[in-house]
Homo-oligomer: A and B are copies of this chain.
Amino acid sequence: MERIPILQVGEFLIVSIQVDLHDRLALRLQDELTSQVVKTRAKGVLIDISSLEIVDSFIGRLLNNIASMTRIIGAGTVVVGMRPLVAITIVELGLSLINVKTALNVDQGMALLRIMVNSTIEEGSDEPDNR
């Protein structure tokens, strides 16, 4: 089972990370996710990490990377379902999730993504007026 499924729900993609991510699998997830965003014209990516008991620097970097990559393509990324203990560990370890926005659950993550998407579109549509 060397593949993390990417589920399309309307204009969003949902990824639930449940297995230990080794280098190759993480790289594959990045590739497939960016391809899927382009292919499905998704406006946002939701990454569920409620199964993860540990978020180390490797996972932190992966989440940052995915968020940066999808943002360049034009989609937002929200990480959902972080366990309280994981949040504590992240702060105590001094890990930085700079590019990553978080929400409590998928529904709230979707709401956040909709706000992000709308604000991006508004910023974009303002541009012609400024010229």
Q: Which residues of A contact B (CB under 8 A)?
A: 1, 3-5, 7-10, 14, 16, 18-20, 48, 50-53, 81, 105-107, 110
Measured in the bound complex, the distance between the Cα atoms of B5 and A106 in whole Å is 11
Q: A50 contacts which chain B residues (CB < 8 A)?
A: 5
Output the least CB separation between A108 and chain B (Å): 10
Residues of the B chain whose Cβ atoms lie less than 8 Å from the Cβ of A4: 18, 51
A20/B5 contact (C-beta < 8 A), A10-B107, A107-B10 known:
no
> Are A5 and B81 in contact, CB atoms less than 8 angstroms apart?
yes
State in angstroms the CA–CA spacing of A15 and B131 once bound together.
Answer: 48
B7, A14: Cβ atoms under 8 Å? yes
A1-B51, A3-B51, A9-B14 given; 15 more Cβ-contact pairs under 8 Å: A1-B19, A1-B20, A1-B52, A4-B18, A5-B51, A7-B14, A7-B16, A7-B48, A8-B107, A9-B9, A9-B106, A9-B107, A9-B110, A16-B18, A18-B19
CA distance in complex: A110, B20 (Å) = 29
